[in-house]
Structure 1
Amino acid sequence: MTGPSRLAPPLSGAGRVAILGSCVTRDLWRMAGAPTDDLLYISRTRLPSLFARAPEGLVLPEGPPPGLRPNPAKALRTDLSKTGLDALVRFRPDVIILDFIDERFDLLVGAGGVVTASWELETSGWDALPPLRTLRRLGPLADGDAALWTPALAALAALFTPGGALSGARPVLHAATWAGALRTASGQVQDLDPDLEITPGRRGSRAAHNARLARMHALARAVIPGLEVVKAPDSLIFSDPDHVWGLSPFHYVGDYYAEIWRQLGGS
């Protein structure tokens, strides 16, 4: 595959940009102070959930999910109602940026459907809705997870082929990984806990998730036609203890975002 350095920066001259990923990529716009008028952001939706049906019998309350701000509430409703893919196609983006950081969540599987077991779902209490409360929980590192994720990636790749619903868009992979250390504003470096609490009571190994992300990135490069890749060097992959969203292995220092924004050609 041709490396990103040989390609025109994806955002150069781009009008409409869609993010199918996480706040890792959405934060690029915030850090750069860039306008978001032509930006679509779909998050808290794992690929198997994006391409699945809603579980049979699921009826969502009309009001907002309890305990969530508007944007997380919208993301949760989008995942459960299965409207994300239609929104992405209708948006007709010039560029679609993918990142797989939200693939760390469990899946809830059964009743003919799949949903993302996100922090937002558990916080809202909607995980107790029928039929969600009876679904089988599948962890992201479980053997059965790849059996759902790989076909979902193939379905996404098909959208970029000639005649596909997203064939006019440039696909870009933001190959983000979990940081192993934090760096303070004064330059002090400190190792992070090797495990992360993904949702209350459920932890994940940084090493295992990074190995899984590497496999996902390789698979995406292999199957998505024309995929471009942006990735920060290891020297910039540090967590920021003063990050606006708090300390996390994927809430990075400012230099990280500046480098990815540069590779994207953002202005």
Structure 2
Amino acid sequence: MAGQTRVLIFGSCVSRDPFNRVGPDNPEFALVDYFARSSMASIGLAPLKGVDVSSIRSPFQRRMVDRDLRKKFLPAVKSLEYDVLLVDFIDDRFKLIVTNRGQGITDSTAFRELTFDLATLRFKKLSNRDDLFRDHWKKGWQDFLATAGECGATRKILINRVYWSASDDEGNPFPDQQAITDANAYLDWVYDQIAQDLPTEQFLEYPRAGFIGKCQHQWGRSPFHYVDAVEEHCLRGVSAHQLMIGA
């Protein structure tokens, strides 16, 4: 449809879910593609070949793991047509598996469904608290920026600056508040890295107090399954970014 904002997403449900609101009565956006279950730390590593993903039950999860294994995101940045490239880092919560040959995969819950035996590889499993994870993240980020630059898409990047919420919309705190604090400290580190390369207008900002979990969220109660107001704010931010770069 003419006038639609075409959106490519690399991230998680926090960026994807707002577009569930798009339909015949709200045709402003078109979702071009969605890359999930992959850490930015994974995309700069070599593909991990020869892994059979057929044992993953969900077709969506199967496709996401296969894309991460084969490193399909950066080629998509070059080949697809989009107006806004929306990026979030919630899936950096998963550990990173790195082999001694420089291959990598995000250790998502979907990847763990595979019958693939990791014991056949020499590898390290890194959390986002590890310096080596962060080194791989920096390389992935720079590879992403370079790819976006090659195809003239740098200004299309919009960083979805989200945080884990401490409580839900019934006022109940989520368990393991220290884990939430640690996750948000990691996200602050990520945003500090990005701010060295992108201007503030390429960050989709939210009122920090607005991050509240939704008890009746379609994916269940979680620190990053937000109330509707967050999703609505996201859509407005994507529209504003498209207007800015189109001006």
Using structure 1 for the length normalisation, give the TM-score. 0.79
How far apart are residue 66 of structure 1 and its match? Answer: 2.1
1:1-267 aligned within 5 A: 13=3, 15-33=5-23, 38-55=31-48, 58-61=49-52, 65-110=54-99, 111-126=101-116, 128=117, 131=120, 133-161=121-149, 164-167=150-153, 170-183=156-169, 188-194=170-176, 205-224=179-198, 228-265=202-239
1-structure distance, mates of 2:230, 2:78: 30
2-structure distance, mates of 1:176, 1:65: 33
User: Secondary structure of the equivalent of 2:223?
Assistant: coil
How far apart are residue 85 of structure 1 and its match? Answer: 1.6
1-structure distance, mates of 2:82, 2:119: 35
Q: Which has the higher helix share?
A: 2
- Which amino acid in 2 is paired with 1:247? R
How far apart are residue 48 of structure 1 and its match? Answer: 2.4
Kept in 1: contact 2:4–2:30 (CA 8 A): no
Of 80-89 and 239-248, more deviation after overlay is shown by 80-89
2:243 equivalent in structure 1: none
Using structure 2 for the length normalisation, give the TM-score. 0.85
Kept in 1: contact 2:212–2:227 (CA 8 A): yes
Percent identical among aligned pairs is: 24
1-structure distance, mates of 2:182, 2:40: 19
Following TM superposition, the consecutive aligned residue runs of length 4 or more in structure 1 with deviations greater than 6 angstroms are none
How far apart are residue 14 of structure 1 and its match? Answer: 5.6
2-structure distance, mates of 1:87, 1:215: 27
- RMSD of the alignment, in Å? 2.5
2-structure distance, mates of 1:205, 1:158: 33
How far apart are residue 78 of structure 1 and its match? Answer: 0.3
2-structure distance, mates of 1:226, 1:242: 33
Kept in 1: contact 2:155–2:202 (CA 8 A): no
- Which amino acid in 2 is paired with 1:122? R
Of 115-124 and 257-266, more deviation after overlay is shown by 257-266
User: Secondary structure of the equivalent of 1:16?
Assistant: strand
How far apart are residue 229 of structure 1 and its match? Answer: 1.3
